[in-house]
């Protein structure tokens, strides 16, 4: 990867490259994320462990000084009906004395080149501010629904004749890992998990003093996995109020879902609060005797197409449709210009075109392609301009949902 340079305002000479000096990253992150002294060891541990697990750090230098940095995660994520390489951006920050000098804008443009070279088709991040990343082509993508309830509220009928075996594991066994990956290939926009992803979800760092344990609960029927919970069990020191957070709640069918709920109900003598983190299309109400204590929807991730051309061949669960889009993409000029997007027998074809039906930035198109929104809504909101040849062609919406954090 070649380093990129730019002369910015106030004449700093920016150089973009992979960062190997972890101490410089930790120092920068401490002030940018206001990491308190008591959490410094955990922050160092977390950065070191992330790099050991293959995550890469890239940053911008002004002379010898690291002025901004981000961590790149290499995921494989379900997108429409395919699983595609996705670049996850995390830990993005800049030095306090470098703010407003363009280092991060410069770094984000270079990050797109890095991701393109790495074969990432799309990029996802969890924004601190949507308008900040909106300027650079990321747009709304995935939401999280968090349902909070007391276990006693769960009311599940028996399933006579159907027997489930339930096992609680501190780390998923191969049956659980295989079950998860097969499920993730077919549902929402979940990412495939190998050891690095599982460890990231289950490792308890030294500053997470309220967490007692993490693990998975596997439900099997006739010797085969049929459901999975990923969990975090926590409690505060002077307050006997244990909370069980199910950060994965996956099942094959209604009987497996009820088996998972029976398990959660069975925790009622110990656990006071259950939090279930699920996609927005999940509903527990038929199995609750009253309203949950809380039900919140969080706007979580933003998405950006890294390479429109690399979407050629994507499987899309949609009727045949064809539309041409004139894309504006200042940060990734290879996406710019007019492209014809055609879904033919469930496969997306992407090719250059001369005449266009729609005009928009890469962000709005990314959100439409992800299924979070559609052309109709984006046109109505002024995010996409419809030209006279546009005849209402559209892609169906889906429910994007990611259960991993970065």
Ligand X SMILES: CC(C)(COP(=O)(O)OP(=O)(O)OC[C@H]1O[C@@H](n2cnc3c(N)ncnc32)[C@H](O)[C@@H]1OP(=O)(O)O)[C@@H](O)C(=O)NCCC(=O)NCCS
Binding region for ligand X (CB under 6 A): 32-33, 68, 92-94, 98-105, 127-128, 135
Question: How many CB atoms within 10 Å of residue 360?
Answer: 23
State in angstroms the smallest separation of the CB of 94 from ligand X.
Answer: 3
Q: Which is nearer to ligand X, 301 or 372 (CB)?
A: 301
State in angstroms the smallest separation of the CB of 253 from ligand X.
Answer: 38
State in angstroms the smallest separation of the CB of 125 from ligand X.
Answer: 6
Which pair of structure tokens corresponds to residue 6?
């730019």
Distance of alpha carbon 357 from alpha carbon 370, whole angstroms: 19
Of 91, 3, 5, 104, the closest CA to residue 44 belongs to: 91
Q: Which is nearer to ligand X, 356 or 366 (CB)?
A: 366
Dihedral pair phi/psi, residue 103, rounded to 5°: -65, -40
State in angstroms the smallest separation of the CB of 16 from ligand X.
Answer: 12
Of 143, 173, 154, 142, the closest CA to residue 244 belongs to: 154
Dihedral pair phi/psi, residue 105, rounded to 5°: -60, -45
Q: Which is nearer to ligand X, 73 or 198 (CB)?
A: 73
Which pair of structure tokens corresponds to residue 268?
């009622």
Q: Which is nearer to ligand X, 106 or 231 (CB)?
A: 106
Dihedral pair phi/psi, residue 61, rounded to 5°: -110, 140
CB 12 within 8 A of CB 62: yes
* Residue carrying the six token digits 């699983």: 83
State in angstroms the smallest separation of the CB of 88 from ligand X.
Answer: 12
Q: Which is nearer to ligand X, 132 or 334 (CB)?
A: 132
Task: Tell me the sheet residues that pair with 304.
Answer: 123
State in angstroms the smallest separation of the CB of 242 from ligand X.
Answer: 31
State in angstroms the smallest separation of the CB of 308 from ligand X.
Answer: 22
State in angstroms the smallest separation of the CB of 9 from ligand X.
Answer: 8
Which pair of structure tokens corresponds to residue 285?
């109400």
CA distance readout (Å), 84 to 22, 39, 41: 29, 35, 35
DSSP 190: P
Q: Which is nearer to ligand X, 126 or 243 (CB)?
A: 126
Going through 262-355 in order, the beta strands assigned E by DSSP cover 273-278, 294-305, 321-328, 337-344, 347-352
Q: Which is nearer to ligand X, 125 or 264 (CB)?
A: 125
Q: Which is nearer to ligand X, 131 or 174 (CB)?
A: 131
Of 299, 300, 296, 280, the closest CA to residue 147 belongs to: 296
């Amino acid at each position: 990867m070649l380093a990129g340079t730019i002369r910015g305002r106030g004449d700093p000479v920016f150089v973009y490259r992979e960062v190997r000096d972890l101490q410089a990253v930790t120092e920068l992150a401490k002030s940018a994320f206001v990491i308190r002294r008591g959490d410094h060891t955990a922050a160092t541990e977390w950065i070191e462990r992330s790099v050991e697990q293959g995550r890469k750090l890239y940053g911008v230098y002004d002379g010898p000084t690291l002025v901004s940095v981000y961590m790149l995660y290499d995921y494989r994520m379900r997108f429409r009906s395919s699983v595609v390489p996705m670049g996850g951006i995390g830990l993005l920050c800049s030095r306090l004395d470098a703010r407003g000098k363009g280092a991060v804008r410069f770094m984000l443009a270079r990050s797109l080149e890095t991701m393109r070279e790495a074969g990432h088709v799309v990029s996802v991040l969890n924004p601190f501010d949507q308008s900040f990343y909106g300027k650079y082509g990321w747009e709304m993508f995935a939401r999280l629904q968090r349902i909070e309830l007391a276990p006693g509220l769960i009311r599940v009928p028996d399933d006579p004749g159907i027997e489930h075996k339930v096992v609680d594991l501190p780390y998923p066994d191969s049956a659980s890992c295989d079950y998860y990956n097969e499920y993730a290939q077919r549902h929402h926009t979940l990412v495939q998990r190998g050891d690095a992803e599982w460890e990231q979800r289950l490792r308890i760092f030294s500053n997470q003093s309220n967490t007692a344990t993490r693990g998975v609960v596997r439900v099997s029927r006739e010797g085969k996995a049929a459901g999975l919970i990923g969990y975090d069990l926590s409690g505060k020191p002077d307050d006997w109020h244990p909370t069980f957070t199910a950060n994965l709640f996956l099942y094959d069918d209604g009987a497996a879902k009820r088996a998972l709920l029976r398990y959660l109900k069975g925790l009622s003598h110990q656990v006071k609060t259950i939090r279930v983190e699920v996609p927005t299309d999940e509903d527990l109400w038929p199995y609750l005797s009253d309203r949950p204590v809380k039900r919140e929807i969080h706007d979580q991730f933003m998405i950006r197409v890294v390479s429109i051309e690399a979407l050629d061949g994507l499987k899309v669960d949609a009727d045949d449709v064809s539309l041409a889009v004139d894309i504006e993409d200042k940060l990734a000029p290879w996406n710019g210009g007019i492209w014809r997007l055609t879904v033919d027998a469930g496969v997306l074809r992407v090719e250059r075109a001369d005449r266009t039906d729609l005009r928009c930035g890469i962000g709005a198109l990314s959100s439409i392609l992800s299924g979070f929104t559609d052309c109709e809504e984006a046109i109505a909101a002024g995010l996409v301009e419809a030209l006279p040849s546009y005849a209402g062609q559209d892609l169906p919406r889906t429910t994007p949902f990611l259960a991993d954090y970065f």
